[in-house]
A = this chain, B = another copy of it.
Amino acid sequence: MTEARVLDPKSAAPQEPPQQRRNLDLRLTGLLGVLVVLCVVGYATRPDSFLTEANISTMLRLAAAIGVVSVGMTFVIISGGIDLSVGSIVALSGVWMTTVATQSYGPVVMVLCALLVGLGCGLVNGVLISYGKIVPFIATLAMYASAKGLAERLSGRRTQVVTETGFSTFFRGDILGVPVLIWMLAAVFAVGWVLLNRTTFGRRTFAVGGNAEAARLAGIDVRRHTALVYGIAGLCCGIAALMVVARTTSGASTNGMFYELDAIAAVVIGGTLLSGGRGSLIGTLIGVLIFTVVGNIFTQNNLDTDIQNIAKGVIIIAAVLLQRTTARRRGTRAT
C-alpha cells in the first residue's frame, strides 16, 4: 500500500474546437470526394460526352424527381420514421392529375391536384402513425399497397397521356437557359434546407427523431409534428409526380417504382442516421447525384445490366467506407 500523496491541482485540460460541425463537414467532404472520383471516372471513360452541358443537364433532370422525393424522405428519416409509400404516392398523384377529368380543367388545376393528392396521402400516413400509433414501416407499407391499387383503378392501368399543352410547355421548358425541372429541384432543396436548418420546425424534427420522449417532455407536440413531417414527404411526392409527368408526358401507375428504395438509399448514403435525430440535406443531395452519375456512366459505357448491378453494390460499399470518418469517431461508443 502506498502513501497518501497530493499533487498539483492546478493543471487544466485543453479546450477543444466544436466537434459536431467538423465531423459533419468531414463526412460531407468524403462524400463529395466520392462524387468527384466518379466524375473523373466518367470523364476518363467518355471524355467526348460526359462533361458536356447536355449530359450534365440530362443527369440533373434525371435526378430531379428522385431528388425531390429524397428531400421529403430526409425529413421523415431524421424525425425517426420511414416512408415506403413514396413511389406509390408519386404514381397516384401523377395518375390523378392526368386523368381526362382533371386535364380538362387546365394546367393550374393539374398542378394543384398533384400537390394536394401527395399532401393528402402524406397526411394520412402521418395521422396513422402519430395518432393511430401504427409503426411507420407498416403504415406506409399499407399506403404503398393502397395508393398503388388506387392508381391502377383510376388509370385502368393505362398510361394517361398529357394532352394539356400548357402544362407540357411550361414544365418541359427552360428558364434562363436552365430546364424548369432543375430549377424546381434547386428550389425544393433550398426551401428544404432552410426549413430543416434555420427554422423551429426543422429543429423540432431533429428533436423528435433524436428522442421522442424527451421532445414530448420539452413541450413539443410530437404527434402533430410527426403528422406534418409525413405531410411534407407527401407534398414532395406530389412535386415529383409533376416532374415525372412532365418528363414522360404521361401519368401511369407504374411511375415511381422503387423510389422508396432509391430515396432511402440516397438519404442513408448521405449520412442521415436511419434511427433518426441526425442528418443532412446536402448529404442527401450528394447521395442522389452519386447514384445518378453511376447510372449515367454505366449507360455511357454501354455496360451490361448484370455488371452494372454487381458494380453498384461495390460502389455503395466503397462510398460508405470512404466517408467512414464518423463511424470511427463514434467507434468507442458504437462498436
Contacts of A311 in B (CB 8 A): 149
Q: Are A307 and B153 in contact (CB under 8 A)?
A: yes
Q: Chain A interface secondary structure, helix, strand, loop or mixed?
A: helix
Q: Are B153 and A306 in contact (CB under 8 A)?
A: yes
Q: Does A41 contact B (CB under 8 A)?
A: no
Contacts of A312 in B (CB 8 A): 142, 145-146, 149
Q: Are B223 and A335 in contact (CB under 8 A)?
A: yes
Contacts of A148 in B (CB 8 A): 309
Contact with B along A107-144 (1 / 0, CB 8 A): 00000000000000000000010001111011101111
Contacts of A316 in B (CB 8 A): 138, 141-142, 145
Contact status of A310 and B149, CB under 8 A, knowing A135-B274, A137-B274: yes
Cα of A144 to Cα of B327 in the assembled complex, Å: 23
Q: Are A314 and B142 in contact (CB under 8 A)?
A: yes
Q: Does A100 contact B (CB under 8 A)?
A: no
Q: Are B313 and A133 in contact (CB under 8 A)?
A: no
Pick the contact of A309: B135, B146, B261, B274 (CB < 8 A).
Answer: B146
Contacts of A334 in B (CB 8 A): 133, 212-213
Q: Does A28 contact B (CB under 8 A)?
A: no
How many A residues have CB within 8 A of the partner chain? 56
Q: Are B310 and A145 in contact (CB under 8 A)?
A: yes
Contacts of A5 in B (CB 8 A): none
Cα of A316 to Cα of B146 in the assembled complex, Å: 10
Copy number in the complex reads 2
Q: Are B135 and A268 in contact (CB under 8 A)?
A: yes
Output the least CB separation between A317 and chain B (Å): 5
Cα of A133 to Cα of B325 in the assembled complex, Å: 11
Q: Are B222 and A320 in contact (CB under 8 A)?
A: no
Question: Closest residue to A312 on the B side, CB-wise?
Answer: B145
Q: Are A310 and B141 in contact (CB under 8 A)?
A: no
Q: Are B317 and A128 in contact (CB under 8 A)?
A: yes
Interface residues of A in 236-287 (CB under 8 A from B): 261, 264-265, 268-269, 273-275
Question: Closest residue to A150 on the B side, CB-wise?
Answer: B310
Q: Does A152 contact B (CB under 8 A)?
A: yes
Offer 5 A-B interface pairs, CB within 8 angstroms, sorted by A: A84-B261, A133-B335, A135-B274, A145-B316, A223-B335
